[in-house]
Amino acid sequence: MKKILSAGLLTMAAVTTAYADEVKVKDAWTRATAPGQDSAMVQLVITSKKAAKLVGIACKDANTSELHSMVMEGEMMKMRQVDSIDLPAGKAVDLGEAGYHLMLMGLKKPLAEGKKTNCEMIVRGADGKEQKVQVIAKVKPLTESAAHGHMHHH
């Protein structure tokens, strides 16, 4: 019995050092931008097999990309830049539901409906190793409503 157990533990140890497919991203999207609008918000769901942190993002269509949190202060919804977003092991983190989003600023060109925007996220594992995760966000119509409805611009 002991032999089988230690073999199993060895296999698990071997798996944790491999980084392939550690982080999965799904449902990445942003809204088409209105003329003159130079920023956009990207929502997505990210799952890391191991406890990690999302520590950065770079999108080729934007000069600057930041991680933001939405915090209610009294009646006001405030956006704050954060250094990282925790990714608990094996738990899907829906940025929108968790009160976060990725902010693209200084857009180089308008985001057109039906197109895609490519980003690269940096995820840091508990061991301090960083890996780049490709994200392709679909550009939805301007009228697409966020699940929360607090980002309406009239």
Query: Averaged in consecutive runs of 10 residues, what is the pLDDT profile of the chain (154 residues)?
Result: 50 45 92 93 96 96 95 90 96 94 95 96 94 96 61 41
Q: Using CA of residue 89, residue 94, residue 96, residue 101, what is the dihedral sign?
A: positive
Q: What was the pLDDT predicted at 146? A: 53
Segment (H or E) for 16: helix 2-17
Ranges of each domain in the chain = 20-140
Segment (H or E) for 6: helix 2-17
Q: What was the pLDDT predicted at 124? A: 96
Q: What was the pLDDT predicted at 21? A: 73
Tell me the pTM. Answer: 0.77
Question: The tokens 């999965």 sit on which residue?
Answer: 24
d(CA 141, CA 19): 35
> Quick one: residue 2, left, alpha or beta (phi over 0 = left, psi -120 to 50 = alpha)?
alpha
CATH hierarchy code of domain 20-140: 2.60.40.1890
CA-nearest of 97, 143, 149, 93 to 121 is 93
DSSP 23-44: EEEEEEEEEPPPTT--EEEEEE
